[in-house]
A and B are shown apart, each in its own frame.
Chain A
Amino acid sequence: MFLTITATGTPGSPATDLGFLLHKHPDKAQPFSTSYGTAHVVYPEATEERCTAALLLEVDPVALVRRGRGKGRGGAPDSALAQYVNDRPYAASSLLAVALSTVFSTAMKGQCAARPELPGRALPLRVEIPSLPARGGPELVTGLFEPLGWTAVVRPVPLDVTFPEWGDSRYVSLVLESDRLTVAEALRHLYVLLPVLDGAKHYWVSPDEVDKLLRAGEGWLSDHPQQRLITNRYLARRWSLTRQAEERLETERQELLRLAQADDTEVEEIDNAVPAEAEPEAGADTGPDSDAAAMEVGATEAAAEEAAAGERPVPLARQRREAILAALRERRAARVLDLGCGEGHLVRELLKDTRYDEVVGVDVSVRALAIASRRLRLERMGERQASRVRLLQGSLVYTDSRLKGYDAAVLSEVIEHLDLPRLPALEYSVFGSARPRTVVVTTPNVEYNVRWESLPAGHVRHGDHRFEWSREEFRAWADSVAARFGYDVEYRPVGPDDPEVGPPTQLALFTLCADTGSERHAGPARARSGHATREEASA
């Protein structure tokens, strides 16, 4: 909420020209009202040698929360503003950019009626922003400003000096210096780049935002090496979803948000069934495991493809789906359960093939199902087509009579999202209770992790993976499940089968012994050796 702009000058070109350029008198303290609070411009110094203008935005935190409050039953669609404990009153966020453009609108346009020759002139400038949220880290701050002719000194702000082990905060203290830029250019850089560096979305992107960006970016944005990142971030989530869809999604996560609050955790910690909307520059700032994660979730195919360019031309997620589809075709399954269907990628593939009469996508995440439903365009689907597909909220740690009697069930990249002690419940509900003829299980092969260059040693591929198994571990598990529940099992590699560490994904294909077995419940107590079944079934 605070920054200073300092010009240095000479008697021939006094620093106090800054006052003319900014259209603010150095000897006055002037308040300006903006949409988020009062902005003040004061000059801590104003001499021929140095002139500093300070912009301070006083944000009203209480009003901010009330503004963030959404419509509908207890809705608070913008969780970034719903908290009274909020960095907005302190950090140089996108709110400050808005204030900047309000207070210095003429200066930004490069106009000065009194001294028309001034705006075109480059000045030795210094900009100080003591508390700047820097999504993407200090490197990105440098990477954004230096190509524009600034020298940037970026100093990370520690989270809390009394707890050095907590490390640095997401804020930096930034000093920019240049003698090649005009004041208008400096202001336009800040106007665009402050929101780009600010993680939170405090306002919805309005239709004229593109024009605003083009105007402010004129002359520098198109040649900027980070042009794509700047554009995407500035326009926030405009590309991924319409505003309405966005609001709906936010409403869908309200219940989970409250449960997270009850537990003093962040909503992201529990609402992670659906990967965050993929941004084209994913990987630049979402943490070290992001491209492995992108590969894994399959939601960000474009990103995954990019990340895997050359080495793995077909994204792993697609290879996995192809392996699953091949297995289902071999088993001549017509009625298929996709257990843990997520956003419905596999469901969509299955629907394209008329050999599947009935496709049921099951997921525990309501949000995932809502996205799946939209992606499949369920509401607009023809009756005949729609009758082939159903999406259900379900849980694999409970038995569910709706899931009985299917030809096949797919558990693709699902088991590793369950805590190990809960796995027996899944085994029972799938193999003992639902008891489809065929079960396809895929899971990461942890041995392969050494081949992901971007994945630090010892890390799992996705933040929510509770475990990742070696080939041996997976087979031990699957063999024991098969024996207990009366299935045969075979294993297949998915992706390049590395001679040393095996394939990135391992697949187990379970087949109900003798395939005539009862559709009824047959739990571990009644587990039988696979060979005895044929005679029994006819008994």
Chain B
Amino acid sequence: MTDAPVQEARPAGRVLPVTDLSLVVLIGASGSGKSTFARRHFRPTEVISSDFCRGLVSDDENDQSATKDAFDVLHYIAGKRLAAGRRTVVDATNVQQEARGQLVRLAREHDVLPVAIVLDVPESVCAERNAARADRADMPRRVVQRHTRELKRSLRHLEREGFRKVHVLRGVEEVENATLVTEKRFNDLTHLAGPFDIVGDIHGCSIELESLLAKLGYTDGVHPEGRTAVFVGDLVDRGPDSPGVLRRVMSMVESGNALCVPGNHENKFGRYLRGRQVQHTHGLAETVAQMEGESEEFKERVGRFIDGLVSHYVLDEGRLVVCHAGLPEKYHGRTSGRVRSHALYGETTGETDEFGLPVRYPWAEDYRGRAAVVYGHTPVPTATWLNNTICLDTGVVFGGKLTALRYPERELVEVPAERVWYEPVKPLVNEAPGGHQGRPLDLDDVRGRRIVETRHAGRISVREENAAAALEVISRFAVDPRLLPYLPPTMAPTATSGADGYLEHPAEAFAQYAAAGVGRVVCEEKHMGSRAVALVCRDAAAARERFGVDGPTGSLYTRTGRPFFDDGQVTEEVLGRLRSAIDGAGLWAELDTDWLLLDGELLPWSLKAAGLLRNQYAAVGAASGAVFPGALAALEAAGARGVDVSGLLARQRERAADAGAFTDAYRRYCWSTEGLEGVRFAPFQLLAGRGRSLAGVPHDEQLAWLDRLVEADGSGLLRRTGRLLVDTADPASVAAGVDWWLDLTGRGGEGMVVKPLGATVRDAEGRLVQPGVKCRGREYLRIIYGPEYTRPDNLERLRQRHLGHKRSLALREYALGLEALDRLAEGEPLWRVHEAVFAVLSLESEPVDPRL
């Protein structure tokens, strides 16, 4: 083990095994050498001494009046370490039963083994050592005497106090010469990476077991590719051939081809075999009868096998946990009676249902662990993932099926029951109706300051106030989180242009990518409408199956997650049109998916921004339109009278022209719609489909898909995105790009977005490159910077804009968006997807110049 301390060569002494995750309690009188012993055998951070804690709270390691506070601190630190799964050594005299009792309780609270190491050193030695220490020189002899007395009294009942290992070292020499070895816990098989085939509850159904093993590729219990079978328990009872199942499983385990954890039925059967009084209910009678014909030797072998089963296993570097009844994360790899009982029986609420069966606590709904938990115990019609846990008990003995999970492939392999072997007490139902993600998310998954781990940009933090704003918007306005698997990131504009009359110009965009080493970029026409994300499922069944919603076939939402249309029928109408286009383009089959997530722009702008248009844009147009005719006439009249108003009049004429240009600018993005008549959707990226994030697909491939969609659209909903490929190293190509933009914006277009052709691209230093920069048209920018922004003195001042924060924000949001898509594609639990989506929205509320 890596945490074994460096051992010096010393004469052979006793070898003391100490479990890697345990609470080690040193017991010995003052002066018995505990601190020295601890230093020699443990890492400094593993050891907490009462003297040190006394010092922490009172500035004096020997201040006995501080003892109570010191132990509070000691227990607190020890608790934190144990909760984090770190072995902890308590260096205190611990000669009193009460003090040890507290530590045993602490160990149990954290489900780790308490281990006692007693340093039984003669009183005279202790006294001598204390006398030699300046800080203990005046310690009365009677203190050590009392310690020694109490120690002797304690020795007899340490096991009874709850210590699972007790090592007593007698005399100075034994203490000096002892060696410690770190033992792994039985449940720690993290070094085994599989691949595994995890098999659900069998209940004596040997025919189905043999069929399943054959289907999985095993021949006589051995897999040609060296896969390992893992049985989740409940091998016996109810079914027709429990001995046959035991025989098969035991031989596979003994030959190293399988692992097995015990189920509650093995546990009870084991007690029966040991001669305990047990009720022959719940199918035990069948097993007992079937065992009649078996030899005593076989019965003994079964007894030994069951006794030796370990309640749960942690596998594959901690990424996989297998147990019978499911296990919350805090119990993974822990060792206590509580953990065993949890692993075997699960947690119940104390209630019973209408069938008289205990109501199980839905622990999987609360599960947020990173390890996949595979278990059985509760029969369900179909095995489905919930928060990275899956129950494989598909009730084969009740006429359901026997299910195995291939890991790490995460594929389910099933064989149907040959017949109903045992009548179920209640019908098989899924624990979570309304789909595997049927319940609301928990606030703790989004609230407060958070750090989100992303694959593309590492850890991204979200401030509390930003999360608070996102919570308000998501809670009050957004669509159901199940239908909100992504939010689009913000995008930075191109660097500010110095060109006469321009604030933004493509030259900077091309230069920026050239500098980042990106040769090929695509210029995509920017549609001026409202950003819209569409989740389209092939049908309602696909939406139910994948997203757990009953009714809607997808969603259509804005960049803050609000539904685009208040009326769900209208949304369905849009989704229906998109669906036909996807049908027509043959993309379901090509991308092997029954749902697609699209990013695009919904037009016209006036559809969603009506309030803003009325109160701001059109209002300014109206105010300026009303004022200038009168103002200009007045100045002209004054001029005609000979008053010198030439400068003033010229300026007002320019301002009137600017105001007119502004009105023209916003008008281009407005038109009347009637229902969906006049509504357009311009998709510019397919984001994800089943099992795959498409965000990294190069844009030329993307656009080819999208062109096919537009072509297949018979409804007139879809709009093509104009594009031009540019080579940033080729001046002619760059000039063509500039001309293309001038032409586009000259015809009233909003502008364009320049993207690296390769979509997700890194620069020479390995940093993510901006996934796109926008380059907005000169006229369009009047809507952003005001009607008169093009006047030279205004432009000069407006050029003082700072892009740094916006760029950083764009990259962080981009990484979070990619993360959401990856998590979605990999079938991660909803809370994990939502975490990333929520973070995008939170970052959107960071302070940044809104005009960028």
| Contact surface of A with B, Cβ cutoff 8 Å | 1-2, 4, 27-29, 40, 42-46, 52, 54, 56, 58, 61-62, 73-75, 83-87, 89-92, 128, 130-131, 133, 157-160, 162-163, 165-166, 169-171, 173, 254-256, 258-259, 261-266, 269-270, 273, 364-366, 393-402, 417-419, 421-422, 424-425, 428-429, 432, 517-518, 520-526, 528-529, 532, 536-537, 539
Contact = CB atoms under 8 A, between A and B. Distances in A.
Contacts of A28: 643
A266 B615 contact: yes
B651 A262 contact: no
A359 B563 CA distance: 35
A258 B352 contact: no
A420 to B, nearest CB: 9
B614 interface: yes
Contact of B490 (A2, A131, A262): A262
A539 B350 contact: yes
B614 A4 contact: no
Contact of B783 (A75, A85, A393, A400): A85
B442 A399 contact: yes
B605 interface: yes
B845 interface: yes
B631 A54 contact: yes
A511 B469 CA distance: 34
B429 interface: yes
B471 A364 contact: yes
Contacts of A529: 354
A2 B465 contact: no
A358 to B, nearest CB: 19
B785 interface: yes
B299 interface: no
A61 B794 contact: yes
Contacts of A395: 443, 471-472, 474-475
A528 B353 contact: yes
A523 B434 CA distance: 12
Contacts of A365: 472
Interface of B: 349-354, 359, 361-362, 365, 429-434, 439-447, 465-466, 468-477, 479-480, 490, 530, 552, 558-560, 562-563, 568, 605-606, 608-609, 611-631, 633-638, 641-645, 648, 651-652, 655, 659, 662-663, 667, 670, 672, 783-789, 794, 797-798, 841, 844-848, 850-851
A438 B354 CA distance: 24
Given A42-B638, A56-B652, A273 B611 contact: no
A66 to B, nearest CB: 8
B682 to A, nearest CB: 16
Given A1-B627, A160-B618, A432-B439, 16 more contacts: A2-B630, A83-B616, A85-B662, A87-B620, A90-B628, A256-B845, A269-B611, A365-B472, A395-B475, A400-B444, A419-B563, A520-B349, A522-B349, A523-B362, A525-B432, A537-B351
Contact of A44 (B433, B635, B841): B635
B352 to A, nearest CB: 5
Contacts of A45: 637, 641
A460 B440 CA distance: 28
A394 B448 CA distance: 11
**Closest 6 pairs between A and B when the two form their complex, measured CB to CB:** A74-B847, A255-B469, A84-B786, A44-B637, A169-B622, A255-B845
Given A42-B638, A52-B634, A84-B784, A130 B443 contact: no
Nearest to B606: A163
Given A169-B619, A528-B353, A536-B352, A263 B559 contact: yes
Contact of A86 (B568, B620, B642, B783): B620
Nearest to A524: B433
Contacts of B633: 44
A166 B475 CA distance: 31
A131 B623 contact: yes
Contact of B622 (A40, A54, A157, A265): A157
A2 B604 CA distance: 34
Contacts of A400: 442-444
Contacts of B614: 159, 166, 169
Contacts of A539: 350-352
A529 B629 CA distance: 75
B619 A171 contact: yes
A258 B662 CA distance: 24
B443 A160 contact: no
A363 B200 CA distance: 45
Contacts of A44: 633-638, 641
Contacts of B629: 130
Given A259-B470, A270-B477, A131 B627 contact: yes
| Of listed B616, B641, B642, residue having the most chain A CB within 10 A | B641
A258 B636 CA distance: 43
Contacts of A40: 648
B797 A62 contact: yes
Nearest to B662: A85
Contacts of A536: 351-352
B638 A29 contact: yes
A270 B478 CA distance: 11
A397 B620 CA distance: 39
B473 A259 contact: yes
A166 B434 CA distance: 43
Nearest to A266: B611
Contact of A170 (B443, B619, B624): B619
Contact of A429 (B440, B447, B465, B627): B440
B619 A525 contact: no
B624 A90 contact: yes
A349 B841 CA distance: 36
A518 B611 contact: no
A500 B473 CA distance: 38
Nearest to B794: A62
B627 A90 contact: yes
B622 A159 contact: yes
A364 B472 contact: yes
B349 A173 contact: no
B439 A422 contact: no
Contacts of B648: 29, 40, 42, 56
29 contacts: A29-B645, A42-B643, A44-B636, A45-B637, A61-B787, A73-B847, A84-B786, A84-B851, A85-B617, A85-B786, A90-B624, A131-B624, A131-B626, A157-B625, A159-B614, A159-B622, A169-B622, A258-B844, A258-B847, A263-B558, A263-B559, A264-B609, A264-B612, A266-B616, A269-B611, A396-B475, A418-B476, A424-B434, A525-B429
Contacts of B477: 270, 419
| Of listed B353, B798, B845, residue having the most chain A CB within 10 A | B845
A15 B442 CA distance: 76
Nearest to B560: A263
A399 B850 contact: no
B618 A264 contact: no
B559 A262 contact: yes
Contacts of A87: 619-620, 623-624
A66 B429 CA distance: 63
Given A4-B630, A44-B634, A133-B623, A398 B442 contact: yes
A526 B445 CA distance: 25
A273 B442 contact: no
A166 B785 CA distance: 24
B350 A518 contact: yes
B560 A262 contact: yes
A370 B629 CA distance: 48
A2 B625 CA distance: 12
Contacts of A46: 641
Contacts of B636: 44
Contacts of B365: 521
B634 A85 contact: no
A158 to B, nearest CB: 7
Contacts of B351: 517-518, 520, 522, 526, 528, 536-537, 539
A366 B468 contact: yes
B627 A130 contact: yes
Given A4-B630, A61-B786, A170-B619, A259 B841 contact: yes
